[in-house]
Amino acid sequence: MTRFIDIHVHPPVEEFLNGAFAPYRQQLAEYFGRPLEVMTTVEIADYYRGLDGKAVILAWSAQTATGMPPFRNETVSQMVSEAPDVFLGFGSVDPHRGSAAVAAVHRAARDGLLGLKFHPSAQQFSPSDQEFLPIFEAAAEENLIVLSHTGFTGLGAGTPGGMGIRHRHAHPMQLDDIAATFPDLQIIMAHPSWPWQAEALAVARHKTNVWIDLSGWSPKYLSQELLDAVRGPLADRTLFGTDFPFITPEKWLRDWVTLGMPDDLSRQILHDNAARLLGL
């Protein structure tokens, strides 16, 4: 039986680390305190197989904001086809491309991707702005899951000007508007949403089409407020994620054990909630 489903994986292949993420690679390696080495699709699949896990791998499209080429949906689809026992795929669209972005949403669904990844801070857009609503409308029509970064980001952290990243775009209330407008759209608020953790939990408790993932932070740093919600009202809508390669599953799971969560709750968060959301 699969031990876990990692809902938040950036596959460290050449096209991602030395393409879309090239400006951030060294900065993120220093921020997270670990080298970011290029891996092949086979190596990543074997790594997750060795841990009895599955990985939701994420595309990345922020060309308008960053000037860097996307980590393409087609590449993610190809990776999934090469290791369907391990990988599931989420696409990404550049929100500033208007009708082309909407068309890319529909194409992602046709290509078998299960969701869309957004990083409003890096993509420099506010999801609730009217001009971007057709993107989310198309996602709802295609029954695609939306996974969107919330709160603080390691991208640009510790540099003058933060490499142009603006946190205000990733306020969880941006997604409250989207969840209210599209009640059939399943939305994952990625990462603990510091410094707006209370707002994120309020959104998720209020709207049952909103989920949270715990990626990007070691469990030992999760706030008591967040842990209380995970143990209680959000136990059935909390998802395990790592933000690999920035945090490894081994490290995250090792730190999770120290929290003393009941085995049935751990199984729910590490696997069962994601399996239900993804329709596995």
Whole-structure pTM value: 0.95
Question: Residue range 3-24: average pLDDT?
Answer: 93
Question: Residue range 146-157: average pLDDT?
Answer: 91
For position 243, what pLDDT does the model report? Answer: 95
pLDDT tens digits along 25-80: 888 888 888 888 999 999 999 999 999 999 999 999 999 999 999 999 999 999 99
Q: Is the pLDDT of residue 86 over 80?
A: yes
Q: Which positions ≥6 away from 36 have C-beta within 8 Å?
A: 12, 17, 25, 28, 29, 245, 246
Q: Is the pLDDT of residue 22 over 90?
A: no
Average pLDDT, rounded, for the chain: 95
SS3 content of the chain, % helix, strand, coil (to 5): 50, 15, 35
Distance in Å from the first CA to the final CA of the chain: 13
CATH number at residue 241: 3.20.20.140
- Cβ proximity of 121 and 157 under 8 Å: no
Question: Residue range 115-142: average pLDDT?
Answer: 97
pLDDT tens digits along 231-260: 999 999 999 999 999 999 999 999 999 999
CA–CA distance, 258 with 69 (Å, rounded to integer): 40
- Cβ proximity of 60 and 91 under 8 Å: no
Confidence of residue 1 (pLDDT cuts 50, 70, 90): low
CA–CA distance, 107 with 109 (Å, rounded to integer): 5
| Full domain range(s) for residue 163 | 4-278
For position 2, what pLDDT does the model report? Answer: 86
Q: Which of 66, 32, 58, 65 is nearest to 154 (CA)?
A: 32
> How many distinct structural domains can be found in the chain?
1
